[in-house]
Amino acid sequence: MPRRLFIAEKPSLAKAIAEGLGKMSGKRPSRGQTHWEVGDDVVLWLFGHVIELVEPHDYDPNWKKWHIDYLPMYPKEWRHEPTTAYTDGKVDKEKTKAILGQVNACKALLRQADIVVNAGDPEREGQLLVDELLRFHNWDPFNDRTMRFWCQSLTENEVIKNITNMFPNAKKRNLYMAAFARQKADWLHGLNMTRLFTILARRSGADMTLSVGRVQTPTLWLVVARDREIANFKPVKHYMPSGWFNHQNGKFKAKWIIPADHPGLNPDGYLIDKAIADGVLAKIAGKQGVISEFETKNNSKGPPLPYKLSTLQQVCSAKFGLTAEQTLQVAQSLYEKHKATSYPRTDSQHLPVSVLKEQAPAIMAAMTATPGVNKAAQNATMTIKSKAWDDSKVSDHHGIIPTTEFHAGKLADMSPIERSVFMLIAKSFVAQFHPDQTWKSMTAIVKCEGLEFRASGRIPGSEGWRVVFDGETEEEDDGKEENQTVPPMKKGDGVTAEKGELKDSTTKPPAHFTDGTLIAAMTDIHKFVPDPEIKKRLKENAGIGTEATRAAILENLIRSRKFLKRDGKGKVKNIISTEAGRSVIDALPNEMTSPGLTAVWEAQLEKIEKGEFPEEQFMQVLHDTLRKRVANSKNLTIKIKGQSVEPMKGDGEPCKCGKGTMRTGVRFVGEKKERTIVLACDSYNKDDPNTCRNIVWPDRPKADPVPPAKGHGETCKKCGKGQMITMKSAKSGAIYLKCNNWKKDAPNNCDNFAFPEEKTGPKCEKCGKGHMRSIPIKNGPNAGKSFFSCSEYPACDNKSFPDDVKKGGGGKGGSGSDKGASKGGSKSPSGSKSKTPFTPGTRTNPFGKK
């Protein structure tokens, strides 16, 4: 038997395949450090994408510098390298090492393999991540020795079935081409546009990265637009007059049908004039009317379709307060760990008929013994075929359902939230075998005094599939009938207006997005786009992002970019934009924030996948678009609220180096990192010492001159080279002398400094040369007081503290800080023991600097 190498997308899938191979061959699987062995078969596991496109500077060293002249970056040949893993924005060395181990193991195992099997997840990215690894190791993934394992369930029977039914990987070549085109396009668009707009913003002094992404940026735009709609919302009070009418068969309420051009309406069609509403009721009071239309209709509604990932995320957000990412993690656990549900990253809510015939009986049998759904399962009718069963609407995956391997005992191994999510999936499946919900709706139109009124109502029929949900409302009821019973009538019947009723309401702002509603908005983003053609394309392509990527995009915007944040005290958090996020949307042109790019891309990628559109043409159009965007933007300046500044004089002029251009920018200088506006050459590169360092600092006010102290200009006694120069402490204002034979970072510096000779106190008892001077204390509990220090400091370290100065409380950074003082000391003039806060022979001085 040929030696086969299965390459699985993740460890759980590798284990399931190994166990399936063991069952088929009767040989026991053996697990090693990087792979399973089952007889002659080997199953290597990956951790998703274990290789990635290299960084820009790996293609061209010049691309390490963010400069507009190097845009757009477009590699002539695309290269990959092992993936670097990150945790909380930092390189995760352990995960990165584990990834590298699998990459190297794959290389070694390929040398021994006769047949290679791509066992990536059954989707575009699953196809790509294995094929790209094979190409990285110079193995043609589409040769006749490469097969494809395609499985939507990790149950033993399904795994064995799909091992038996493997097909040539070459059949998925176009799927790989579409995935690789998407990968390259996102690299090109994201990196080039992020650099372009960041450079343009930095011209005005902004100090932030304007991160741009094909899906990320339109998603951010959705939230910013919603937040501003809420912030600018002005409530409107409006009125709705209704009449109560008597018919010989009973009484009912009907609302006034307000003509579109009637006086008293605002532009949104709300009646805001109360006088007009009162006038309507007064006009019909006690008057006769007639039924101009009457209709009864029998309605029915089938069960909700099984979940796809995005609809599951929406429900879990509303019911349990889960984030989109948390829902995905739970769904993955149910699929991989418990093998209780089918593949979760699906974009389809329909089911193949083969599942109805081959798997449904066994699944329903398990449901009859599962608490929470057992009664509904026992009362199910297996001959019912709901709208969910439709092969034409199933793509690579079907809706999420329980597996044939599930049994009630597995509930005990699940966490509480896993059980809750599983029950949602189980109930949606059981509901497919219950009849439709039914009700009768009634609508009557009343004409009275030249005005028209509409009455609607409903009579409940059979609950049908709703019994599965124990009264829970899975979806909003169809129709907008009021909860009233409209008596049986016929056209032409007379009625009398008995009384009127006026309801006043106030419009409410739209709700902030939550994880669930934002996922829904990304899926249905066509609803937020006015352009008919773009709207159509987005609807056909199911919005922006994919079922597998939307959660990660949200987390990137929240955790990494910090353009969004979760807010609120309840279990369901709002998602709102940050100031940085709003600044990005304000700075970018509409073409970057619009979801239209995704509509165009996805339409073309789908054609590439079907073999109807050449991948090379897709990439060429993208390259041309990027080149035009950069060329048209070179002279633009983007301003960021709160960060951008007006250009300095000379901005845009050539630098004296002859290569760069002088641009306004921001530098953070000094200990306090003060924001300073400067003019600097844009050819500067901090990593290249040979680039231009030309920088023009703004004019600064000159400091008050310090009068020369006694000893100023004398030769330093310590080094014999420098001169003692008068200095003034910025913190305490004290005057001192310092040797000028000192330069930052230079060797053989002289650190000599001394107080000028003064006679402000008694002669020092310790050295007999200096005099005890009064030094003010600037900070801390003793601020405003003084201590005594010998004028010969640092040659003499004698200090003393008056009784009113708390020992150890000189104050941080002040001249009198005695922090770290030695236990010994000389006697002060008052007889108290002095303390020595500064160590002789060091550059530490009373002014808080070294």
Could you list the active site residues?
343
Output the six-digit token pair for 323. Answer: 């984030």
* 776 CB-side CA count, 13 A: 10
Q: Are 434 and 467 in contact (CB under 8 A)?
A: yes
Q: Are 543 and 526 in contact (CB under 8 A)?
A: yes
- Long-range contacts at 582-586 (CB < 8 A, ≥ 24 apart): 582/224, 582/227, 582/228, 582/641, 583/208, 583/640, 583/641, 583/642, 583/643, 584/210, 584/211, 584/217, 584/220, 585/217, 585/220, 585/221, 585/224, 586/640, 586/641
Cβ-proximal residues to 621 (8 Å cutoff; 6+ apart), any chain: none
Residue 303 to residue 351: CA distance in whole angstroms:
14
Residue located via tokens 């680039």: 691
- 438 bridge partner residues: 300
Residue 150 to residue 169: CA distance in whole angstroms:
10
Which segments of 412-540 does DSSP mark as H helices, in order? 416-430, 515-523, 532-540
Residue 158 to residue 351: CA distance in whole angstroms:
16
Residue 112 to residue 658: CA distance in whole angstroms:
59
Backbone φ and ψ for 271, nearest 5 degrees, come out as -80, 110
Of 53, 52, 44, the residue nearest 10 (C-alpha) = 44
* Residue 578: alpha-carbon gap to chain centroid: 12
Residue 493 to residue 497: CA distance in whole angstroms:
13
Q: Are 725 and 737 in contact (CB under 8 A)?
A: yes
Dihedral angle, C-alpha 133, 138, 139, 142, nearest 10 °: 90
Bridge-based pairing of strands 753-754 and 735-739 is antiparallel
3-state class (DSSP) for residue 715: strand
Taking CA 822 as the corner, what is the angle to CA 816 and CA 825, rounded to the nearest 5 degrees? Answer: 85
Q: Which amino acid does the sequence have at 553?
A: I
Residue 47 to residue 583: CA distance in whole angstroms:
36
- 574 bridge partner residues: 514, 567
Residue 688 to residue 681: CA distance in whole angstroms:
14
Other C-beta atoms lying within 10 Å of the C-beta of residue 10: 18
Which segments of 203-301 does DSSP mark as H helices, in order? 216-231, 274-284
H or E, element range at 14: helix 11-25
3-state class (DSSP) for residue 146: strand
Secondary structure string (H, E, C) spanning 653-702: CECCCCCCEEEEEEEEECCCCEEEEEEEECCCCCCCCCCCCCEECCCCCC
Q: Listing from the earlier edge strand, what are the strands of the sheet with 574-577?
A: 513-514, 574-577, 564-567
Which segments of 431-576 does DSSP mark as H helices, in order? 515-523, 532-540, 550-555
C-alpha dist (Å) from residue 232 to 227, 495, 510, 525: 9, 45, 11, 22
Residue 217 to residue 595: CA distance in whole angstroms:
8
